Amino acid sequence: MPGEFTGLTDDQWETLKPLLHAEPERRWKGQPPAPFRKVLNTIIYVLITGCRWCDIPVGSEWGKRSTSHRWLGKWLSDGTLEKIKSRLLGLAHLSEKIDWTNGSIDGSFVAGKGGGEFVDYGFKGKGVTIHALVDGKGNPIAVTCTGASGDERAQVDPLLDSVDVKTGMKGRRKSRFDSLELDKGYDSEALRKKNPKAGNPSQDSPKKMGQPKATQRTKNREVEKSVEG
């Protein structure tokens, strides 16, 4: 479900402000540049609520649609948004809000009948697949997006490698989960070798990731032997 967002607090803005470029200076003519706080408010509002750009709120706390959309593209391309995400993960780690004992990965299909970036045809229809890595509490840690025809298993390593936790402290940063849960659709020899801690404990034994599955004929033979014995 979409969330709610009413704007950055003063403390939140002071945390994010050093991660942004210096604000453009006011030109001698024309409209003054939009303050970054207003621009960031609008971008975060779209990301949290999932609203269309034409439906963004209007007021003293919000940036204009065209300006906010332009800065979103610029910050995405120059790595500013990645810096913000890494810093937020670092703060969450220091406050012990991330459960590193267990992570899980799964993908969800989103229809895209009107077309758009990454949209293509998969077995579920025309759209994209959003791949998410979450911690043991269900908090999103990393997200990628591919076409609907893409292989979900190919996104496991990019998701794990994209986790960058910047705490501002010296020492080795935490970036890997102690264990990783995946459903049976991710089962592959290559992933088992790269991620030996990955498994599927939600399924009954021996249907666990990395273990051969017994066929129905094998199960029937085991039942017959137990009856004869």
- Assess contact for 129 and 147: CB atoms under 8 A: yes
Predicted pLDDT at 2: 66
pLDDT digits (tens, 9 = 90+) for 85-107: 999 999 999 999 999 999 999 99
- Listed residue (212, 205, 200, 204) closest to 104, CA to CA: 200
Three-state SS at 225: helix
Mean pLDDT to the nearest integer, 144-160: 90
**Can you give the pLDDT at residue 186?**
81
Segment 40-88, tens digit of pLDDT: 999 999 999 989 999 999 999 999 999 999 999 999 999 999 999 999 9
Q: Residues 198, 202, 203, CA angle at the centre, nearest 5°? A: 100
Phi, psi of 82 (to 5 degrees): -65, -40
pTM over 0.85: no
φ and ψ at residue 47, rounded to 5 degrees: -65, -35
Quickly state the pLDDT bin for 217 (edges 50, 70, 90): low
Confidence of residue 194 (pLDDT cuts 50, 70, 90): confident
DSSP letter assigned to residue 114: T
186 DSSP 8-state letter: G
Cβ distance 187 to 211 under 8 Å? Answer: no
Structure tokens at 195: 């991620």
Q: Are 60 and 27 in contact (CB under 8 A)?
A: no
Closest of 26, 50, 16 to residue 39, by C-alpha:
16
Token readout for 113 is 């009948």
